[in-house]
């Protein structure tokens, strides 16, 4: 159902794993890709260059002091079977969030979770007609950044770098608390957003469903023993 590192490291399998990881998270840096697929960074660099020459992956250097992000081209989206996002290209304004989501996905994969990015679980929802990650908020759906699957447990993950409006956060937390298809929700948040989420969780009465961690505390969340 999700992307896992290949058992046999053939170029075609690695190419697919890398493209899928980039696509389901919107974009990713080389370090996150290396961690997610379990391949040496130097080899990842060669594979990214190959994917770029074949017109499947695009390199985006957005900030002078930060590493490049890699995103799928139109051909890459088609090859992976994902619907392209409305705003296809990474931009300076979303650089930090895209980077943090991909880094979190790689860290969770390294801990042993099966990790589904937003575009991966949305594809599953469209195919099956069942919600596995999206949460109804009135007539609209809220979609967490990631889903973690460990055994029979499904955990939604949000990566929060900015402070959202209190009412919006409360509504999201209330929706999470009502979502019977999720076994829990985790926020990995920067300090100010973490405090805002904690206030929203308390106001929504969602303390039994939603936990808040610092961005660096990914090691705190380990999958259940098989």
Q: Is 175 exposed, middle or buried (0-12, 13-18, 19+ CB in 10 A)?
A: buried
pLDDT(190) > 50: yes
In a domain, 103, yes or no: no
Q: Do residue 138 and residue 206 come from a single domain?
A: yes
Domain co-membership, 216 together with 135 = yes
pLDDT for residue 8:
38
Domain final residue, candidates 90, 119, 139:
90
**Is residue 135 located within the same domain as residue 216?**
yes
For residue 208, the enclosing domain spans: 131-220
- For residue 225, is it within any domain? no
148 and 215 together in one domain? yes
Q: How far apart are the first and last CA of the chain?
A: 18
Q: Is residue 153 part of a domain?
A: yes
- C-beta atoms surrounding 60 within 10 Å: 16
Q: How many domains does the chain have?
A: 2
Banded pLDDT at 87 (limits 50, 70, 90)? low
Is the residue at 66 inside a domain?
yes
Structure tokens at 104: 């979190």
Residues 119 and 82: beta-carbon distance below 8 Å: yes
Name residue, tokens 């937390």.
173
Kindly list the distances between the CA atom of residue 173 and the CA atoms of 63, 87, 217, in Å, as whole numbers in the listed order. Answer: 33, 26, 20
Over residues 175-179, the mean pLDDT reads: 97
The answer to whether residue 144 sits within a structural domain is: yes
Neighbours of 87 (CB within 10 A): 10
d(CA 126, CA 141): 13
pLDDT per residue over 18-50, tens digit each?
999 999 999 999 999 999 999 999 999 999 999
Q: Are 64 and 145 in the same domain?
A: no
1 pLDDT tier (thresholds 50, 70, 90): very low
Distance between CA atoms of residues 183 and 1, nearest Å: 18
Q: For residues 137 and 84, state if they share a domain.
A: no
Would residue 174 count as lying in a domain? yes
Alpha helices, DSSP H, located in the chain: 11-25, 30-37, 41-53, 74-80, 95-111, 118-128, 166-178, 191-204
Does a structural domain hold residue 158?
Answer: yes
Q: What is the mean pLDDT of the chain?
A: 91
Reported confidence tier of residue 10, pLDDT bands at 50, 70, 90: low
Contact 58, 28 (CB under 8 A): no
CATH code of the domain in which 50 resides: 1.10.10.10
Judge if 136 and 206 occupy the same domain.
Answer: yes
Are 82 and 135 in a shared domain?
A: no
Considering 68, 90, 112, which residue would you say is the last residue of a domain?
90
Instruction: Tell me whether residue 78 is in a domain.
Output: yes
Same domain? 206 vs 140: yes
Structural domain ending residue among the three candidates 75, 90, 105: 90
- 56 and 136 fall within a common domain: no
Backbone angles phi, psi at 130, to 5 degrees: -115, 145
Question: What is the maximum span of the chain, computed from C-alpha positions, in angstroms?
Answer: 51
Are 69 and 150 within one domain? no
């Amino acid at each position: 159902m999700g992307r896992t590192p290949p058992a046999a490291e053939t170029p075609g399998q690695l190419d697919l794993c890398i493209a899928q990881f980039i696509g389901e998270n919107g974009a990713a840096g080389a370090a996150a890709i290396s961690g997610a697929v379990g391949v040496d960074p130097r080899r990842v660099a060669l594979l990214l260059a190959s994917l770029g020459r074949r017109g499947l992956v695009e390199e985006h250097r957005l900030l002078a002091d930060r590493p490049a992000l890699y995103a799928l081209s139109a051909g890459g989206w088609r090859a992976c079977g994902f619907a392209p996002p409305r705003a296809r290209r990474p931009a300076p304004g979303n650089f930090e969030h895209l980077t943090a989501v991909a880094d979190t996905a790689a860290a969770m994969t390294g801990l042993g979770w099966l990790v589904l990015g937003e575009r991966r679980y949305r594809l599953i929802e469209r195919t099956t007609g069942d919600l596995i990650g999206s949460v109804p908020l009135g007539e609209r759906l809220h979609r967490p950044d990631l889903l973690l699957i460990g055994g029979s447990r499904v955990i939604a993950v949000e990566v929060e770098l900015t402070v959202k409006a209190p009412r919006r956060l409360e509504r999201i937390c209330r929706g999470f608390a009502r979502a019977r298809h999720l076994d829990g929700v985790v926020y990995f948040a920067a300090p100010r957003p973490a405090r805002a989420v904690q206030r929203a969780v308390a106001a929504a009465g969602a303390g039994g469903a939603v936990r808040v961690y610092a961005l660096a505390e990914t090691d705190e969340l380990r999958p259940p023993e098989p």
